[in-house]
Structures are given as C-alpha cells and as structure tokens.
Amino acid sequence: MALDSGEDSRTVAGRYLLQRELGRGGMGVVWQALDTGLQRTVAVKEVLLPGHLTDAERADAHARVRREAQTAARVAHPSVITIHDVFDFEGHPWVVMELIRGRSLQEEIARTGPLPPERAATVAEALLEAVRAAHANGVVHRDIKPGNVMIGEHDRVVLTDFGIATMEGGASITRTGALVGSPEYMSPERLRSEQATPAADLWSVGVTLYTALNGESPFRRDSITAAIAAVLSAPLPPLPVAGPLAPLVAGLLERDPAARLTADAALELLRGPGAGRGAAGPSGPAGSATGPRTGAWAAGAAPADGTGRLGGHPSGPHTPPGPHTPFPGPHTPRPGAPGGFDTPHPSGPHAAPFGPTTPRPYGGSATPPHPPAPPPPTYSGQGPATLRDARRRDGAGVPVFIVAGALILVVVLVVAVVLVTRDWTRYETFRSSWYTVDYPAEWSVDDTAVRDDAYVRFEPDGDHLLYVDGWVNGPSDPDTSYGWIEADHREFQEDPKVSDYQALEMTEVEGGGFPADWDVARWRAEFSHEDWPTPRRYFATHLVTVGEETYAVTINVPADHRDDYADVYQRAVETFAPR
C-alpha cells in the first residue's frame, strides 16, 4: 500500500485517510477512507497493475483507468456506484467512489442461502437498469458477478466497479492467455476472445440471477478449464425455483449474443403485462414463462398445450410457506349454509402431488377405490388408447371428394382438419356445495370425500386421473397459491418414492380470464413413481386461492399422454368455479 507519510497517518494523495480494508481481488484493493477535504466517508480503490507490463503498457493502462472512470462517473443512476475522483499515486491508479454500507450479493447468498424469486426480481430490475444506463453512456462493465453487486441500506441494489474491475482493449494488462474476470460469469463470446459488448454484460447478469436463485453459479467447476468448458457448451441445469424469473434468466443465458435478451427487452419481460411474447431467448430452464407480479414481474407464456388461453401474470407477492403437514387436517367449517354453516372444508395443506399411495395426491390412486369405468365407446371393434385417438376416429369419416379445382380441395381439407382437431369429448358438470367443474361424461366419478374434504376424482381407468380438491388455509399455511406450489415442490424433491422429478413450470398467473379476486398459480412437472401402472408421469395443476380457501384442479396421466389429455384438463380449468 502506498501512503503519503508514516503508517499512522495512512493518507493517500494528501486527502484520503485510509481507515480499513474492505476487500481485495485480482485487480486491486478497496479501502474505507475519509475524504478530509469534504469530511465524508468514501471507498477508495487501489488498482493493482500486473508487474509484467512494459512502461508503455503501464502508461496506457493508467490512461484507460482514468478514461473509464471518467466515463462511468457520467452514469447517473441509483443502481450504479457513484465515482467521485480518479488519480495516479506512486505508480498505481486510484479511484474514489461512494461508500455503500451493506454487504455484497455474494455475502447475502452465503449468509441466508438462495433468494426467493420475489426478492431476486428486485435485484434483477436494479441490475438491468444499471447496465442499461451504463451501456447508454458507452460503458461495458465486463465483470458483473455477485461479489460486485452491493445490497445497501433500505435494500438498495448497487452495481460496483463499473469500467474499472477489468480493462480490455488496447494493450493487454494480463499475461498472454490469461483471463481478466471470473470465467464462470463471463459470456461465451468473451471466452472465445471476442470483443466485450453490452450483450456480454447481459449474460453476466443472467448468471448472477441464476446464482442468486440457486445458491451457486450453474458453471461452477473445480478448475478454470472446466468452468470455461461449461460456459461454452454445458447444458444449463434446470432452475425449478426460479418462479416468474425462469424465462428472464433463460433469455439472458442464450449463448448466441444476437439472440440474447437486451436490457430493454429483459426489463419489458420483467415488468410489463403481456410482455416478453416473441422476445429473444428460450422459455427458461424451468419451463414456460412464469408471469409477472403486478408492475414488477415478467409476463407468463401460454400453457404447454398451445391453447394460449391461460397466459398471464401472478397475483402478487406471496408469503413464504409455513409447515406443510399431511392432509387431511382438522376441518374448519365455512359459513354460508342453512343454520349458519355449510359442510366443512378441510383446514391446512392438501397432500402433495406424489404417488398413488398419497391420500389426496396430485397423483391419485393407481388402484381406484371403485371398479374402473368402462372404456370409451369403441370404433370398428376397438377402443381408442387415448382421447386423441377417439377424436381422430370421429373425424376419419369425413368424406373428401376431389371434384374439380383447388378451391374445393382446400375447403374440404379445412373442414377435415377442424373435425380431427376438435375436442369431441362429451362433458357433464359436477356440482357440489364447494364448486362446479366439467368432466368427461364417460369417466367415473368418486365424490365420497367431497362433503368432508371438498375432494372429487374423475378417471377413465386406473392410470389417468382428473381431480379437484379444496381446503381452508390455516394460520401457518401458505396464504397464496404459489406458496402452496413452492411447498409441494419441496415435498416432491424429498419424497423417497419420487424419482427423476422435473419441474416444467411454476407460474403465478394473473388475468387469463380469471376473476380479479382469484389468486391463481400453475404448476406442471414430470416424475417417476413405481406404484403407477405407467411409472413415468406428467401432472398439471392450477391452484386457486379465494379469500381463506384454496382449490386445486389437477390432472395426472402417463407422460406420453400429456398432449392427449390437454383438452380435458383445459376444460376443467376453464369451467371450475367455487360456489
């Protein structure tokens, strides 16, 4: 450390009294200091240049530190560190910045673990605003990572070391072949020695958000070489707890910089209702989009069945779930029926969607409590294996007469397509004191638990199940639908009978045709469970919280049949109505 005088004074450049070291890295040391001229506390960074530089390269590096600090000082944004001064002193460049009282995002993760999606969304918005402001002023950060993101007073998020942590362009300030920055947070194009661009910063924001949600970088490896290889080609590990941030993270971690989300597109996806449709980037490591919180979160995509009818936004921030006790729990009566109370609703959580042995599972029962219903009507002496087969056979008899001219042929083909793709399933409406919902008329109904537990199941056999459940939320239960999904998601991961679990979507939904007072969330996943006739399963569920009551509309079918039963599930969701 270079000082003006003795060790007792610790004054740099006759003005900055160094008080204590705040941190150090490969490119320098940061001190807390007193600006004796203005009598304010600041952060002072001593930039340490490598010893191998020639005099000309060292002079160039000093000039670039000064130039980039001056440029960064023009970036006026609450989420960008403020630069106060830059100077050379005893062979090293020094930069004076505002002092952020708090801790880095890296320290926050180490202390409390991964951030919940709603808090990570706040960090995401601040980082995206910061890089957008910097890029507008010609500044590329080049070293965005959790250690360079500060969480200050009142949860202010600040990106530090703009244009200072790494210096590229002009003469190299590293030895040939060396990397400046943290490889696991660097973009693929930078690792290929291409020029750093704004898109490279957006990749680093994506890795930082993934780390905030997961607890560690997806490209963390035991060696630098392995980390570089992972960034360049390793598949992105699933991020099932990303919630509404899944499509944002995936869009930022697009390896092709031309397809990567820009800062503007990422902020639009994060904030705007209906935003993100058609935006660059895939749908996300955890499946399709998960929807924005009003005014802050990203818009959701259409459901996997392609109907496009249930996209949207979440209902708002949710409280982290409390203890998740086995269902059924104690029953809480609901007022409204003659005599002051209707039939009782169960209190407390429902059973998580595991396997057939769970009393009220998203998985249902492989051995139904009643004889299997007869198969659907047969055609030509053979019944269809799936609903789609039935629909195809219903449309197979469309006569196609190629009379004359292409116009008639087109009309006939259009009619044929409509007949084949239309859902010909005949539905009936199930009515109880709790809700109404449509189900396939040919399916059997088990409503023996509907009076006490608001639970009914519909099934054509022992391997396909549609069910509706309802309960009253207890004091320690999640108070949002998404909170229930998070709790059940954790149970899935811990259940010893469940294997190969893959969350495809965990979504808060707002709008989509649902009433404004409904808190709606959507969850889709695949998993394996040996107790089922077909072990590899797919389930989809909509959870609806209305006041203190929560309902689940769920389908569980063999994974290979998920598309065949999409219409049945969609019909149930669209017609479900609490009473």
Q: How confident is the model at residue 530 (pLDDT cuts 50, 70, 90)?
A: confident
Choose, from 60, 143, 201, 446, the residue flagged as catalytic: 143
* 182: pLDDT strictly greater than 70: yes
- Residue ranges of the annotated binding site for ATP are 45
- Predicted confidence (pLDDT) at residue 150 exceeds the cutoff of 50: yes
Nearest to 541 by CA among 470, 477, 474, 451: 470
**pTM of the model as a whole:** 0.47
Q: What is the pLDDT of residues 43-83, one digit of tens each?
A: 999 988 877 888 888 888 888 888 878 877 888 899 999 99
* Count of alpha carbons within 13 angstroms of residue 225, beta-carbon side: 0
- 387: which strand partners? none
Q: Is 563 an annotated catalytic residue?
A: no
Does 384 score more than 90 pLDDT? Answer: no
* CA distance linking residue 197 with residue 200, whole number of Å: 5
For the record, the structure tokens of 527 come out as: 């998993």
DSSP reduced 3-state for 338: helix
Helix (H, G, I), strand (E, B) or coil at 146: helix
pLDDT in tens, 92-136: 899 999 999 999 999 999 999 999 999 999 999 999 999 999 998
| CA pair distance 316, 404, nearest whole angstrom | 58
The listed range with the strongest mean pLDDT (220-234, 306-320, 421-435) is 220-234
Q: Which domains does the chain have, with CATH numbers?
A: 11-98 (3.30.200.20), 103-167+181-271 (1.10.510.10), 331-375+423-578 (3.40.1000.10)
What pairs with residue 522 in β-bridges? 507, 542
Model confidence at 147: pLDDT above 80: yes
CA 571, 298, 546 angle in degrees (round to 5)? 50
- Assign 3-class secondary structure to 386-429: CHHHHHHHHHHCCCCCCCCCHHHHHHHHHHHHHHHHCCCCCEEE
> Which residues is 528 bridged to in the sheet?
499, 536
How do beta strands 435-440 and 456-459 pair? unpaired
Residue 488 has pLDDT above 60, yes or no: yes
Name the phi and psi angles at 331, rounded to 5: -95, 135
Q: Confidence band (pLDDT; 50, 70, 90) for 279? A: very low
pLDDT tens digits along 538-569:
999 999 999 888 999 999 999 999 999 999 99
